[in-house]
Amino acid sequence: MRDYKLVFTGPMGVGKTTAIAAISETAPISTEVANADASVAKATTTVGLDFGQVTLDNGDRLRLYGTPGQARFDFVWKILVRDALGLAILIDNSRPDPLADLAVYLDGFAGALEKMPCTLGVSRLPTHPSPTLDDYAHALAQRGLVLPMLAVDPRRKDDVIALIETLLMQIEVLDEEVAP
Binding site for ligand GTP (CB under 6 A): 12-18, 42, 45-46, 68-69, 123-124, 153-155
- DSSP 8-state secondary structure symbol assigned to residue 13: T
Beta strands in the chain (DSSP E): 3-9, 29-34, 44-55, 61-66, 86-92, 118-123, 149-152
Residues in the interface with Mg ion (CB under 5 A) total 3
Q: Indicate the residue among 32 and 176 with the shorter CB distance to ligand GTP.
A: 32
As a whole number of angstroms, the distance between CA 171 and CA 105 comes to: 20
As a whole number of angstroms, the distance between CA 15 and CA 19 comes to: 6
Q: Indicate the residue among 139 and 152 with the shorter CB distance to Mg ion.
A: 152
C-alpha distance from residue 133 to each of 122, 125, 136 (Å) = 8, 9, 5
Contact 108, 74 (CB under 8 A): yes
Q: Indicate the residue among 32 and 135 with the shorter CB distance to Mg ion.
A: 32
Find the residue with minimal CB distance to ligand GTP: 69
Q: Indicate the residue among 68 and 98 with the shorter CB distance to ligand GTP.
A: 68
Q: How far is the CB of 28 from Mg ion (least distance, A)?
A: 10
Subset of residues 33 to 92 that bind Mg ion, contact rule: CB under 5 A: 46
Q: How far is the CB of 69 from Mg ion (least distance, A)?
A: 6
